[in-house]
């Protein structure tokens, strides 16, 4: 019995130490990022390349998924509300659901998979094949060459993708509603405008910005601190996607509480 307690204590202590070490490594990465920012001549051109990859590389899948989400939201709203609530509410529901929730969260989750996995795998591979060590050995900062461009690209491009997703999802919802429900353009626009507040758009962008930070920082951290060869790269990639996805959902809740309920 006492050996079981000892083993439990040992495991708990070990987990606490590992968690503290991870926090320390993450803080060190943040300091590195701050230092890397000062070398703007290095990271700005690379950030453009990364932004192009994030933006153009993700545009199709983002638009595809957001258009389906908008369409389905409109159809479900029509199914639930027909007969009991004015039909223009479909316009309100589609617009508000997409802008406040579906647009940023769906884009966040898609990009946690697409960009988060790519960044963690790229940086992880560079770590285990000593490319990051090589960069350091040449007197260059891995932060300004590898980390800052990726983080900046995400912080700039993910909000842009969310704007595209919001617009396309609302348009898709509008088209789907018109095809399947007895709703006119005037009804849809009236419904969309009646509950609309300018802050809704800002809220969508604020969420996108936080999600972008979560995706880029977590995936860069996991990739940059990869150990133990190909297996380590796999672990970092999976870990980056799972952690970023969970963090997005957590941030979604916290931001809703902080910004919508006060």
Partner 1 sequence: MIEIRNLAKRFGAQVVLDDVTLTVNEGETMALLGPSGTGKSVLLKHIIGLMRPDKGEVIVDGLNVARLKRKELAALRSTIGYVFQNGALFDSMDVHENIRLGLTNPEQYGDEEYVEARVQECLKIVNLAPEVARKMPADLSGGMRKRVGIARAIAGKPKYLLYDEPTSGLDPVNSDIIDTMVKRLDEELGVTSIMVTHDVRGAFRTADRIALLTSGKIVAIGTPEEFKESTVPEVRAFLERDFDNEPI
CB closer to partner 1, 6 vs 35: 35
d(CA 130, CA 139) in angstroms, rounded, equals 14
Piece of the chain touching partner 1 by CB under 8 A; list 71-79, 98-106, 136-144, 248-256: 136-144
d(CA 121, CA 233) in angstroms, rounded, equals 6
Q: Where are the beta strands (DSSP E) in 161-243?
A: none
CB of 63 to partner 1, least distance (A): 27
Residues 201/187, Cβ–Cβ less than 8 Å: no
CB closer to partner 1, 73 vs 141: 141
Residue 135 half-sphere exposure, CB side, CA atoms within 13 Å?
16
Residue 84: what are its φ and ψ, rounded to 5°? -105, -30
Q: Is 130 in the site for partner 1 (CB under 8 A)?
A: yes
| 251 Cβ neighbours under 8 A, 6+ residues apart | 207, 210, 211, 214
CB closer to partner 1, 32 vs 166: 32
Site map (CB under 8 A) of partner 1, residues 95-124, x = contact? ------------------------------
Residue 135 neighbours by CB distance under 10 Å: 17
Residues 23-52 that bind partner 1 (CB under 8 A): 35
Q: Is 140 in the site for partner 1 (CB under 8 A)?
A: yes
CB of 217 to partner 1, least distance (A): 21
CB of 41 to partner 1, least distance (A): 9
CA of 108: how far to CAs of 10, 38, 146, 247, in Å? 38, 28, 22, 10
CB of 24 to partner 1, least distance (A): 15
d(CA 91, CA 97) in angstroms, rounded, equals 10
Q: Is 137 in the site for partner 1 (CB under 8 A)?
A: yes
Q: Is 133 in the site for partner 1 (CB under 8 A)?
A: yes
Residues 81/187, Cβ–Cβ less than 8 Å: no
CB closer to partner 1, 50 vs 96: 50
Q: Which one of residues 1, 3, 5, 139 is an interface residue with partner 1 (CB under 8 A)?
A: 139
Positions touching partner 1 (CB under 8 A) are 35, 126, 129-131, 133-141
């Amino acid at each position: 019995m006492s050996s079981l307690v000892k083993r439990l204590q040992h495991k708990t202590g070990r987990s606490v130490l590992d968690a503290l070490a991870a926090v320390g490594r993450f803080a060190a990465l943040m300091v590195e990022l701050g230092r890397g920012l000062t070398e703007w001549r290095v990271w700005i051109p690379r950030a453009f390349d990364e932004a192009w990859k994030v933006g153009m590389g993700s545009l199709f899948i983002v638009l595809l998924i957001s258009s389906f989400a908008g369409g389905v939201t409109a159809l479900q709203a029509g199914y639930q509300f027909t007969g009991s609530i004015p039909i223009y509410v479909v316009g309100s529901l589609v617009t508000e659901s997409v802008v406040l929730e579906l647009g940023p969260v769906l884009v966040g989750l898609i990009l946690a998979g697409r960009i988060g996995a790519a960044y963690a795998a790229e940086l992880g591979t560079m770590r285990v094949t000593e490319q990051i060590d090589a960069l350091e050995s040449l007197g260059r900062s891995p932060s300004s060459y590898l980390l800052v461009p990726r983080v900046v690209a995400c912080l700039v491009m993910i909000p842009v993708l969310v704007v595209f997703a919001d617009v396309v999802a609302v348009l898709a919802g509008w088209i789907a509603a018109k095809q399947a429900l007895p709703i006119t353009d005037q009804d849809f626009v009236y419904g969309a405008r009646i509950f609309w507040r300018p802050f809704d758009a800002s809220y969508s962008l604020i969420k996108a910005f936080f999600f972008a930070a979560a995706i880029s920082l977590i995936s860069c951290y996991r990739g940059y601190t990869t150990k133990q060869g190909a297996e380590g790269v796999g672990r970092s990639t999976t870990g980056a996607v799972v952690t970023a996805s969970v963090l997005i959902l957590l941030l979604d809740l916290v931001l809703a509480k902080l910004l919508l309920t006060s």
